[in-house]
Amino acid sequence: MRHKTIDELLNSEKTHIEVTVKGWVRSFRSNRFIALNDGSTINTLQCVVDFENFEDEVLKKVTVGAAIKVVGTLVESQGKGQKVEVQVSKLTVLGEAKPEDVKLTILSPKRHTLETLREQAHLRIRTNTFGAVMRTRSKLAFAVHEYFQKNGFNYMHSPIITGSDAEGAGEMFRVSALDPKNPPLDENGNIDYKQDFFEKETNLTVSGQLEAETYAMALGKVYTFGPTFRAENSNTSRHLAEFWMIEPEVAFNDLDANMDLAEDFIKYVVKYALDNCADDLEFLENRLLEEEKNKPQNERSEMKLREKLHFILDNNFKRVSYTEAIDILKNSTPNKKKKFKYLIEEWGADLQSEHERFLVEKHFKCPVILFDYPAKIKAFYMRLNDDGKTVRAMDVLFPGIGEIVGGSQREERFDVLKEKMAAMDIDEKELYWYLDLRKFGTAVHSGFGLGFERLVQFTTGMGNIRDVIPYPRTPGNAEF
- pLDDT tens digits for range 264-299: 999 999 999 999 999 999 999 999 999 888 888 877
- Residue 478 has a pLDDT of 58
DSSP tally for the chain: helices H, then strands E: 16, 16
Please report which confidence band the pLDDT of residue 367 belongs to, taking 50, 70 and 90 as the band edges. Answer: very high
Mean pLDDT for the chain?
92
Contacts of 338 (CB under 8 A, 6+ apart): none
Least confident of 110-114, 168-172, 312-316, 360-364: 168-172
- Residue 5 has a pLDDT of 96
Residue 392 has pLDDT above 50, yes or no: yes
Alpha helices of 88-198 — where are they, by DSSP H? 99-102, 114-119, 121-124, 128-150
Phi and psi, residue 235, nearest 5°? -95, 70
- Residue 421 has a pLDDT of 92
46 in helix, strand or coil? Answer: strand
Residue 153 has pLDDT above 50, yes or no: yes
Neighbours of 363 (CB within 10 A): 15
Q: Which residues pair with 35 in a beta bridge?
A: 27, 46
C-alpha to C-alpha distance for 258 and 432, rounded to whole angstroms: 26
Neighbours of 55 (CB within 10 A): 9
Short-list 411, 447, 407, 443, CA closest to 426? 411
- Residue 31 has a pLDDT of 92
**pLDDT digits over 446-459, tens only?**
999 999 999 999 99
C-alpha to C-alpha distance for 249 and 71, rounded to whole angstroms: 52
**pLDDT digits over 180-227, tens only?**
999 999 999 999 999 999 999 899 999 999 999 999 999 999 999 999
Report pTM.
Answer: 0.93
58 in helix, strand or coil? Answer: helix
Q: In whole angstroms, what separates CA 16 from the centre of its chain?
A: 42
Over residues 24-33, the mean pLDDT reads: 95
Over residues 144-165, the mean pLDDT reads: 94
C-alpha to C-alpha distance for 309 and 324, rounded to whole angstroms: 27
Residue 479 has pLDDT above 60, yes or no: no
C-alpha to C-alpha distance for 143 and 140, rounded to whole angstroms: 5
- Residue 79 has a pLDDT of 76
